[in-house]
């Protein structure tokens, strides 16, 4: 009878060495993080004794502790992945798998779709308030739409400043597909001024180590310039919203969806649209466009001569 922690290590090793199970290096690290809390609770529990009700109680306790539905679902999902892998390797029975299959997600589909977008004037204020190491990371997100994991794991060998292109390998991306991300002038000016370290090839370093958690710096800067911060705050900004900013700005610039999706790595139009925020300016512009169209049609009609009918 195996305890959960006993199946965790071999399954993680299996994930790490499998090209089909783990989409990227960044995903593997996130998987370990999501499993850490679950393992603290169920590590000493016999795997086959974990019931659906136990998992539901875990969800309830995590939610009561202030964790979001999305985060809790990620934890359960990671634990489920381990159990499925253990089943494939004949380490656990189908009964164990069934318990994890039955537990329902807390978050409904698309319920966590975010709408926060920083306008350029807000972004500039934020950049001025950020410390240098965080400023460069946020700029990278805003001007490229790259994911946090892709940014903090970025190394100089993937950055071609001469060609102004970031070239990500399949192992660097969440969707496990290589892609190229263009570098605009504003981002180029930031990147060219970043000194390259001798001991570490990562682009973004802080005190000699790769930048990892910069939430405190981002929160402090947001508050300093009057930008709401945090997922639990109304209209609160979080780093992942830079991806929304990029998608929305590209669309407003008239860039075709297919091109934007190629840059950001969105595999479906549905997911792309989740990151494209339509705001009040968009809908007002749409009405103005319609009004302009109607006026042009009306003028055209007025210019068409009306032929008089011949009297009988």
Domain covering 120-274: architecture: Orthogonal Bundle (1.10)
Residues carrying CATH 1.10.443.10, the chain: 120-274
The pLDDT value given to residue 290: 65
In angstroms, the CA 97 to CA 95 distance is 5
Averaged over 194-203, what is the pLDDT?
A: 92
The pLDDT value given to residue 128: 96
pLDDT tens per residue, range 103-122: 888 866 555 556 788 988 99
Averaged over 193-222, what is the pLDDT?
A: 93
The pLDDT value given to residue 282: 65
Residues carrying CATH 1.10.150, the chain: 4-102
Token representation of residue 150 = 């892709």
pLDDT: is 128 or 279 the higher one? 128
Place 21 in a pLDDT band, splitting at 50, 70 and 90: very low
The three-point CA angle 113-231-150 to 5° equals 75
DSSP assigned state of 167: E
For the cut 60, the answer to whether the pLDDT of residue 56 exceeds it is yes
In angstroms, the CA 145 to CA 248 distance is 10
For the cut 70, the answer to whether the pLDDT of residue 88 exceeds it is yes
For the cut 60, the answer to whether the pLDDT of residue 31 exceeds it is yes
Place 157 in a pLDDT band, splitting at 50, 70 and 90: very high
Query: Which residues touch 180 (CB under 8 Å, ≥6 apart)?
Result: 165, 166, 167, 168, 263
pLDDT: is 20 or 231 the higher one? 231
Place 300 in a pLDDT band, splitting at 50, 70 and 90: low
Query: What b-and-e string marks burial along 152-186, b requiring 16 or more CB atoms within 10 Å of the CB?
Result: bbbeeebbeeeeeebebeebbbebbeebebebeee
What distance, in Å, lies between the first and last C-alpha atoms of the chain?
Answer: 104
Place 17 in a pLDDT band, splitting at 50, 70 and 90: low
Averaged over 230-259, what is the pLDDT?
A: 87
Averaged over 270-280, what is the pLDDT?
A: 63
DSSP assigned state of 210: E
The pLDDT value given to residue 30: 73
The pLDDT value given to residue 46: 84
Place 20 in a pLDDT band, splitting at 50, 70 and 90: very low
Averaged over 120-128, what is the pLDDT?
A: 94
Query: What b-and-e string marks burial along 21-30, b requiring 16 or more CB atoms within 10 Å of the CB?
Result: bbbbebbbeb
Averaged over 215-232, what is the pLDDT?
A: 93
Token representation of residue 105 = 């997600």
Average pLDDT, the chain: 81
Fold of 4-102: DNA polymerase; domain 1 (1.10.150)
The pLDDT value given to residue 270: 63
Averaged over 157-168, what is the pLDDT?
A: 94
């Amino acid at each position: 009878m195996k305890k959960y922690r006993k199946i965790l290590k071999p399954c993680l090793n299996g994930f790490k060495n499998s090209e089909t199970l783990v989409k990227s290096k960044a995903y593997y690290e996130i998987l370990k993080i999501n499993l850490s809390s679950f393992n603290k609770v169920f590590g000493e529990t016999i795997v086959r004794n974990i019931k659906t009700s136990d998992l539901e109680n875990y969800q309830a306790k995590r939610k009561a502790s202030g964790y979001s539905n999305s985060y809790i679902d990620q934890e359960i999902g990671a634990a489920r992945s381990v159990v499925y892998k253990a089943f494939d390797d004949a380490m656990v029975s189908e009964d164990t798998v069934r318990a994890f299959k039955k537990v329902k997600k807390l978050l409904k589909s698309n319920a966590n779709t975010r709408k926060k977008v920083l306008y350029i004037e807000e972004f500039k204020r934020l950049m001025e308030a950020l410390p240098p190491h965080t400023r460069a990371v946020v700029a990278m997100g805003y001007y490229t739409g790259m994911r946090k994991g892709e940014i903090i794991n970025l190394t100089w060998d993937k950055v071609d400043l001469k060609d102004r292109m970031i070239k990500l390998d399949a192992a660097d991306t969440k969707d496990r597909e290589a892609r190229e991300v263009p570098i605009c002038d504003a981002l180029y000016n930031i990147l060219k001024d970043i000194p390259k370290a001798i001991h570490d090839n990562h682009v973004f370093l802080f005190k000699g180590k790769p930048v990892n958690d910069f939430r405190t710096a981002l929160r402090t800067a947001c508050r300093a310039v009057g930008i709401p911060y945090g997922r639990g705050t109304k209209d609160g900004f979080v780093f992942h919203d830079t991806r929304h900013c990029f998608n929305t700005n590209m669309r407003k610039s008239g860039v075709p969806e297919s091109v934007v999706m190629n840059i950001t790595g969105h595999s479906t139009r549905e997911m792309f649209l989740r990151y494209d925020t339509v705001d009040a300016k968009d809908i007002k512009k749409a009405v103005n466009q319609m009004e302009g169209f109607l006026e042009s049609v009306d003028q055209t009609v007025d210019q068409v001569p009306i032929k008089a009918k011949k009297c009988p």
